[in-house]
């Protein structure tokens, strides 16, 4: 399985053989759903928290006497039906949303996600991504030359602070390291731009 290698101007400069174990698998929707759901669950902060009527300050005094007023009986102004009262059945930060995922399964899910992008014609291999400076204009020109639409993902073999800084202002564009790549990021993008060096760094993970 081979793919064209493009330069930053979009011109073909060679070809690269894509590892079958990484880019030649048949995607399994069930497995891809499992690994992407686990990734999203692990990103949840779980910090949403509301106070119940027992935790809201005040409300110790009975608003009015039990009988004789003609109004409904009330025992506290901190009831959920009152303004400034507690919240009934609201979110509490006592839930652990984390889902454990075996490494081999996560690795297989990543390979299937990469294979799905390659089979769908959404994989673009570039020789390298080297910017003269941290300019958003250069990144925009690169995406235009590679005919990459919105929601693109650039995968590099090593961290490039200038590229990360330049890509911040491009809507929908993300930059990731080959060593940090996961199935969710790959499946979420519409165009996967990966450097030749990143492919060489990914392949040993499946040996």
pLDDT in tens, 34-53: 999 999 999 998 899 999 99
| pLDDT recorded at residue 2 | 85
pLDDT at 41: 95
Q: Residue 11's pLDDT is what?
A: 86
pLDDT at 150: 83
Q: What is the pLDDT of residues 180-198, one digit of tens each?
A: 999 999 999 999 999 999 9
For residue 190, the model assigns a pLDDT of: 94
Is pLDDT of 203 > 90? no
Contact 183, 39 (CB under 8 A): yes
Q: E strand or H helix at 136, and its extent? A: helix 136-145
Pairing status of strand 123-126 against strand 191-195 = parallel
Where are the alpha helices (H) located in 2-135, listed in sequence order? 20-23, 29-42, 103-119
Locate the domains of the chain by residue range: 2-44+98-206, 46-96
Residues 6+ apart with CB under 8 A from 147: 10
Query: Contact at 8 Å (CB) between 139 and 131?
Result: yes
Confidence category of residue 130, pLDDT binned at 50, 70, 90: confident
pLDDT in tens, 60-109: 999 999 999 999 999 999 999 999 999 999 999 988 999 999 999 999 99
For the segment(s) 2-44+98-206, the CATH number from 3.40.1370.10, 3.40.50.970, 1.10.730.10, 2.60.210.10 is 3.40.1370.10
Question: What pTM does this model have?
Answer: 0.82
pLDDT interval class at 149 (50, 70, 90): confident
Helix %, strand %, coil % for the chain, to 5? 35, 15, 50
């Amino acid at each position: 399985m081979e793919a064209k290698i493009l330069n930053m101007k979009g011109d073909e400069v060679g070809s690269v053989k894509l590892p079958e174990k990484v880019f030649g698998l048949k995607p399994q929707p069930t497995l891809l759903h499992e690994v992407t759901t686990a990734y999203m669950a692990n990103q949840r902060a779980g910090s949403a928290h509301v106070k119940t009527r027992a935790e809201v300050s005040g409300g110790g005094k009975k608003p009015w006497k039990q009988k004789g007023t003609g109004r409904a009986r009330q025992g506290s102004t901190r009831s959920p039906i009152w303004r400034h009262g507690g919240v009934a059945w609201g979110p509490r930060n006592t839930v652990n949303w984390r889902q454990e995922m075996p490494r081999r399964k996560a690795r297989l899910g990543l390979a299937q996600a990469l294979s799905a992008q390659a089979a769908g014609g959404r994989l673009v291999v570039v020789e390298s991504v080297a910017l003269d400076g941290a300019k958003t204009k250069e990144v925009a020109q690169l995406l235009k030359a590679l005919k990459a639409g919105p929601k693109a993902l650039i995968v590099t073999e090593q961290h490039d602070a200038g590229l990360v800084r330049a890509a911040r202002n491009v809507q929908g564009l993300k930059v990731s390291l080959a060593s940090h790549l996961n199935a969710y990021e790959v499946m979420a993008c519409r165009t996967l731009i990966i450097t030749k060096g990143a492919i060489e760094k990914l392949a040993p993970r499946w040996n």
